[in-house]
Amino acid sequence: MAHAILIVDDDIAIKESVEEFLALMTYDVKSAENAFQAVNMLKTFQPDIVLTDIMMQGMDGLELTRLIREQYAIDVMVMTGYSAEYSYEEAINAGASDFIFKPFRFEELDLRIKRMLREAAFKKERDKLLEEMKQLAITDGLTNLFNSRQFFHQIKQEVERFQRYSRNLSLLILDLDFFKKYNDTWGHLEGDKVLMRIGMIISSCLRRMDSAYRYGGEEFAVLLPETELREACLVGNRIRENVQKAVFTPENGVQTSVTVSLGAAQIVQGEDFTSFIKRADKALYLSKENGRNRLTVAP
């Protein structure tokens, strides 16, 4: 797919000659006679590079560059024949990626454009890699839920939000019942399959605003912002019922199921995140103590 370039220059002869050359070099080229026309075109045309003159009536090229970098994050190359009036530093400070003096050779322009495109591609790949690394740092590799590190980061933020705005916040903590026995009977690989499936079930029961975490080995947590305790219990029991319905086949001819116990809590005024977690944990303990496969509300 051809790279797209927008040329902005009120010198018609230069604009047309540059446009003709870049079209011959197989770029997808459009042009504007002033900055205002260019801004209007950018609403429907997304170029890889904007090539703009500096000296133009109305909005000059440096103002246009600032606007493009702020609103569209498109690379800009500025061109000028007034080297004494505008410096390279001014163009770069305005957000330009490159600066070229008129008159220029078309071959030089093409080389500069290609360099800018290479740098943009490198930046895109680097940003993608950084985002992937960030996801790896906060995600549990087995269940694809967030990990415990992200849980503590997020619950602190949610508690701070509650303290500022008094928005409802609830927490579920889940634990697989008799999971050690399952691992001892069928092996850790089969146990991992159960954990993966539990992660999928939890995710399927949540709303867009909720977030789920692998809190410990076979323990999970769910944060429910803007949610009262009654609603949190509905979500928790839906998870519990769906887990109980799931069928596992640890070996040929054998079908089995698992259950989870849950504790639910809603944050109260003056409570910090450690107390909030401890109350949900206490409710989970009571579920275990009172027969498992149930949800208990924190006092």
pLDDT for 34: 93
Q: Give pTM, 2 decimals.
A: 0.66
Determine the pLDDT at residue 269: 92
Catalytic pick among 33, 90, 158, 218: 218
pLDDT band at 129 (very low <50, low <70, confident <90, very high): confident
33, pLDDT greater than 80: yes
Domains of the chain: 4-133 (3.40.50.2300), 148-297 (3.30.70.270)
Q: What is the DSSP letter of 250?
A: E
Please compute the mean of the pLDDT values over residues 19-32 and round it to a whole number.
Answer: 94
The band of 283, judged by pLDDT with boundaries at 50, 70 and 90, is very high
Give the whole-angstrom CA distance, residue 172 versus residue 208.
16
Q: What is residue 56's three-state secondary structure?
A: coil
Distance CA 125, CA 45 (A): 23
Residue 125 pLDDT class (50, 70, 90 cuts): confident
Render the burial of 104-139: b for 16+ CB within 10 Å, e for the rest.
eeeeebeebbeebbeebeeeeeeeeeeeeeeeeeeb
- pLDDT tens-digit readout, 72-93: 989 999 988 755 566 677 888 8
At residue 297, φ and ψ (nearest 5 deg) are -90, 135
Cα diameter, the chain = 86
User: For this structure, is 218 an active site residue?
Assistant: yes
Task: Tell me the pLDDT tens digit for each residue of 173-226.
Answer: 999 999 999 999 999 999 999 999 999 999 999 988 999 999 989 999 999 999
DSSP collapsed to 3 states, 195-224: HHHHHHHHHHCCCCCCEEEECCCCEEEEEE
Lowest mean pLDDT among 45-49, 57-61, 248-252, 283-287: 57-61
- Helices of type H across the chain: 12-24, 35-41, 61-71, 88-93, 106-138, 148-165, 179-186, 188-204, 229-245, 273-289
pLDDT band at 57 (very low <50, low <70, confident <90, very high): confident
